[in-house]
Amino acid sequence: MTFKNKNALFCALDMRSIDQAVTFTSSIKDYIDGIKIGMEAFYSMGIDGYLRLQDLNIPIFLDLKLHDIPNTVKSAIKSLIPLNPFMINVHISGGAEMLRAAVGAIHESKESKPKLVGVTILTSMNEYSFEEQGMKLNVQDQVINLATLAADCGLDGVVCSPYEAGKVKSKCGKDFLTVVPGIRLDKTESDDQKRTLTPYEAVRNGADILVVGRPLTKANDPLEVAKIIRKNIDGYAN
């Protein structure tokens, strides 16, 4: 699938009401390239809600962050493929065997073949988060290590913070997708996100797909915010 814009903007629909999600998406559809349906939305709205959103004819990133033993992940992906998502994801920390099983599920599909991306380090985490778990790790180095593993196992790209997108591109190649949450119009408003940049900064730093949630869904005027973000992204691309 080719997006109408060079750098894609996906809205994270972290809401529970089907009607609200459909109405909201319809209101900003002309300024976004896709939607992300995460665990909160999918578990609340279920298949019926997913299909109603799919009827809007907009690409869907099904963000369920699969992380289990290889056979379970492979079976889960086979169960999700009939929903025809544009993209699904797994946790890279599940290891190479799990990643290859996930890739195998898509290759074996006689239906659609969604993009498969791997979650590196959640954007809510930083070095202190690792210290809490008894690990001494540099976040950026670990993101690159995980991205390299994902690329070696045949994934299409990774989910990473805007800070690491450029380094992932340098290491894994320009065609390796960087899906970037942690986007804030004002970096002082980070909520529970710790590694954030503005849309313009993220695109400049190598982001292919920007995932924006609360700055859109919690805005007083979501359409106006969508226009601002679109202008930010397109301003850099041009």
- Please pick, among 65, 171, 194, 227, the residue that the annotation labels catalytic: 65
65 as an active site residue: the answer is yes
CA of 191: how far to CAs of 16, 115, 124, 182, 201, in Å? 20, 29, 9, 10, 18
85 with 114: CB under 8 angstroms?
A: yes
Residues in the chain: 238
For residues 181 and 166, give the distance between their C-alpha atoms in angstroms, rounded to a whole number.
14
Question: Are 181 and 211 a contacting pair, CB within 8 Å?
Answer: yes
Structure tokens that stand for 201 in this block: 């900064």
Active site residues: 65
